């Protein structure tokens, strides 16, 4: 028996190491391809037409293999607030229950994933002229590997009794749903409560990883109450996880890790500390300001957070800020900065509603600034009671010296923004410019570049990115299923029937888009409901730019509000903080943001005061 367990362990190590090395190489390949595209286009005036296409193929493989690594390491994001309060036998049972439930989800989508990949064989990519199955096959390959490592993890735990009980419980629930399936098809909107609130909500509270909880709710709804093929959901997941904008997520994660390794982050923090370190909780204000400066550059809120958190969190923790407070503030700043250009959400809302994008860019700056000031006020209030380390004010000579040392690091956000604004690189490509810039600074300026740490950093990048992207993919699949259920049409009918004029419409819009933001995320909700609700706002005399700010900021709260907000779990993953620790601190920040949104909603000048008349 021991001999069998030993060889199983060795097989797991060999396969796991191989997956990690392939994922690390994929990270490097994506950086190289995108940076080559920038060089070819602007240095040699010879665009590489296939670069984005190849990067998209490799990106989906990177996302799926990163998900595999995260499952092997047990680093998929989970909500364990309830589980952690239970006694040991119940905790052990729920751990096994979560793994069995995750296995069930993976098993349910394995066959549709294979069919989806086979369907893509006949599709040919326009530039490379290869079968799209090369990209789509990443999904079934990743699922198969996750199943394998889930089995390995269950085998190594040797908790046969709770595992057996979990199989019985899940099998019973699945059997009941299967038997009742013909009746469920006639329940209509009630299925939304059963599957999306019941199955997904209970799964999240039970400690099942967020991505698998979302997936279970979606697959259960489609499989038990509709006749839709499940491979359609795999298509939505593919579309979400291989979106080129999201490629900025692993690249900015890598950029943050490189800034830390090369000493750029330490130099920046030392200078910022010299300016604000003598103030209680001064780096919290730096976090708010930094997110305001870099937000929107990558087009992905997760990527924005990944560019900031690794540079600030270590020093903030050292000074006594609790991890839960850190991730709560990071999430709040993510919600606060949704309207700052060049925001992908602003571009999307302009394209689907016909609102001027330049007007949206102009109108988005001040509302975000107002919310930022409110967050700073709350930071000041909270920091009065925290046992934070306050350091003495440095001399002017030291501040000048630190500023010169930090200048290359401080210049990085301006280099990135200039590259986007001037059109040198796309929002995704610009992250590679930051990576190359960081490598050069580390090698020749700060002289801190440990080659032995490079591959572990690449693997960590793949792992963290996979955990984030699998959540996004599962959430997008859920969004599509909600659309097919008629949920969007129901919401529109209710909003059209409201009484009380513009005031009630704005208040209800805030509530509705907070909920939609937590369930559908920003862009899917905008695409679904923007064309439907903006005409209603115009009829009530609400300026379209003003309404856009209210909608976007409200969805930002939902996106970062636990227990369903995907952005909150992305912030926890980036900050490497257990989601439980941030739940209580974030509530105060969400209330502060809500107060700010109400101000924006009922003072239209904040959104339209600087628009040309």
Report which of 491, 483, 484 is spatially closest to residue 226, judged by C-alpha positions.
Answer: 484
Q: Which pLDDT value is given to residue 403?
A: 84
At residue 363, φ and ψ (nearest 5 deg) are: -75, -15
Report which of 363, 382, 358 is spatially closest to residue 553, judged by C-alpha positions.
Answer: 363
Q: Which pLDDT value is given to residue 244?
A: 73
Please name every residue paired with 124 in a beta bridge, in sequence order, or none if there are none: 131
State mean pLDDT over 313-339: 84
Handedness of CA 180, 112, 203, 245 (dihedral sign): negative
The pLDDT-based confidence of 292 (bands split at 50, 70, 90) is: confident
Residue 227: other Cβ atoms inside 10 A = 7
Report which of 349, 370, 267 is spatially closest to residue 315, judged by C-alpha positions.
Answer: 267
Distance between CA 381 and CA 121 in Å, rounded? Answer: 59
Report which of 166, 146, 12, 178 is spatially closest to residue 75, judged by C-alpha positions.
Answer: 146
Distance between CA 583 and CA 578 in Å, rounded? Answer: 10
The pLDDT-based confidence of 2 (bands split at 50, 70, 90) is: low
Span 355-368, pLDDT tens digits: 877 788 788 889 98
Cβ 150 vs Cβ 67: under 8 Å = no
Q: What percentage of the chain exceeds 70 in pLDDT?
A: 89
Q: Which pLDDT value is given to residue 21?
A: 94
More confident residue, 579 or 524: 579
Reduced to 3 states (helix: H, G, I; strand: E, B; else coil), residue 75 is coil
Distance between CA 576 and CA 611 in Å, rounded? Answer: 41
State mean pLDDT over 453-480: 85
Most distant CA pair in the chain, distance:
80
The pLDDT-based confidence of 613 (bands split at 50, 70, 90) is: low
State mean pLDDT over 274-302: 72
Distance between CA 497 and CA 515 in Å, rounded? Answer: 19
Distance between CA 342 and CA 294 in Å, rounded? Answer: 10
Q: Which pLDDT value is given to residue 113?
A: 92
Span 30-58, pLDDT tens digits: 888 888 887 887 777 777 778 878 888 89
Asked whether the predicted pLDDT for residue 498 surpasses 80, the reply is no
More confident residue, 384 or 212: 212
More confident residue, 292 or 404: 404
For residue 194, what are its two tokens?
């059963």
Q: Which pLDDT value is given to residue 596?
A: 93
DSSP 8-state assignment for residue 541: T
Q: How far apart are the two ends of the chain, measured CA to CA in Å?
A: 80
The model carries a pTM of 0.77
For residue 521, what are its two tokens?
């995320």
> What are the sequence ranges of the domains in the chain?
15-242, 247-338+367-451, 485-608
């Amino acid at each position: 028996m021991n001999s069998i367990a030993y060889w199983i362990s060795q097989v797991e190590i060999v396969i796991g190491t191989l997956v990690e090395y392939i994922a690390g190489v994929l990270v490097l390949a994506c950086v190289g391809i995108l940076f080559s595209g920038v060089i070819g286009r602007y240095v040699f005036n010879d665009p590489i037409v296939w670069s984005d296409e190849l990067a998209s193929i490799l990106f989906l493989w990177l996302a799926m293999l990163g998900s595999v690594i995260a499952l092997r390491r047990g680093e998929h994001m989970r909500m364990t607030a309830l589980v952690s309060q239970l006694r040991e036998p119940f905790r052990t049972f729920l751990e096994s229950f979560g793994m069995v439930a995750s296995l069930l989800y993976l098993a349910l989508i394995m066959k549709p994933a294979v069919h989806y990949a086979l369907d893509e064989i006949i599709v040919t990519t326009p530039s490379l002229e290869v079968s799209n199955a090369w990209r789509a096959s990443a999904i079934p390959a990743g699922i198969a590997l996750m199943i394998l490592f889930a089995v390995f993890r269950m085998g190594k735990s040797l908790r046969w009794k709770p595992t057996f009980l979990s199989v019985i419980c899940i099998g019973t629930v699945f059997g009941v749903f299967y038997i009742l399936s013909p009746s469920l098809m006639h329940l209509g909107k009630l299925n939304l409560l059963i599957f999306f609130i019941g199955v997904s909500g209970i799964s999240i509270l039970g400690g099942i990883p967020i991505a698998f909880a979302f997936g279970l709710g979606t697959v259960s709804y489609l499989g038990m109450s509709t006749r839709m093929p499940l491979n359609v959901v795999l298509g939505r997941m593919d579309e979400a996880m291989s979106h080129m904008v999201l490629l900025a997520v692993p690249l900015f994660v890598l950029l943050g890790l490189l800034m830390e390794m090369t000493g750029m982050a330490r130099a920046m923090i030392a200078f910022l500390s010299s300016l604000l370190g003598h103030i209680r909780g001064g780096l919290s204000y730096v976090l708010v300001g930094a997110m305001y400066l870099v937000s929107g550059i990558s087009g992905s809120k997760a990527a924005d957070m990944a560019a900031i958190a690794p540079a600030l969190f270590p020093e903030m923790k050292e000074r006594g800020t609790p991890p839960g407070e850190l991730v709560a503030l990071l999430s709040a700043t993510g919600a606060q900065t949704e309207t700052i250009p060049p925001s992908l959400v602003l571009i999307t809302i302009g394209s689907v509603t016909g609102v001027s994008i330049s007007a949206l860019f102009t109108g988005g700056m001040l509302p975000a600034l107002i919310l930022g000031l409110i967050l700073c006020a709350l930071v000041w209030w909270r920091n009065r009671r925290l046992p934070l380390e306050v350091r003495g004010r440095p001399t002017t000579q030291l501040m000048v010296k630190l500023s010169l040392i930090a200048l290359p690091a401080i210049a990085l956000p301006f280099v990135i923004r200039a590259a986007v604004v001037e059109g040198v690189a796309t929002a995704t490509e610009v992250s590679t410019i930051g990576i190359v810039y960081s490598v050069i600074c580390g090698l020749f300026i700060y002289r801190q570049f440990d080659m032995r740490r490079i591959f572990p950093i690449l693997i960590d990048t793949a792992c963290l990115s996979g955990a984030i992207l699998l959540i996004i993919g599962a959430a997008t699949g859920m969004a599509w299923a909600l659309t097919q259920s008629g949920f969007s049409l129901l919401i529109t009918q209710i909003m059209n029937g409201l009484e009380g004029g513009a005031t009630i419409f704005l208040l209800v819009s805030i509530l509705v888009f907070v909920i939609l933001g937590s369930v559908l995320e920003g862009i899917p909700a905008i695409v679904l409901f923007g064309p439907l609700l903006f005409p209603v706002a115009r009829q009530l005399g609400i300026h379209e730019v003003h309404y856009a700010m209210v909608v976007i900021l409200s969805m930002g709260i939902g996106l970062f509000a636990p227990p369903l907000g995907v952005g909150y779990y992305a912030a926890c993953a980036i900050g490497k903080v257990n989601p439980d620790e941030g739940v209580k601190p974030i509530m105060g920040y969400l209330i502060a943001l809500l107060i700010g949104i109400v101000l924006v909603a009922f003072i239209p000048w904040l959104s339209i005061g600087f628009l040309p008349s």
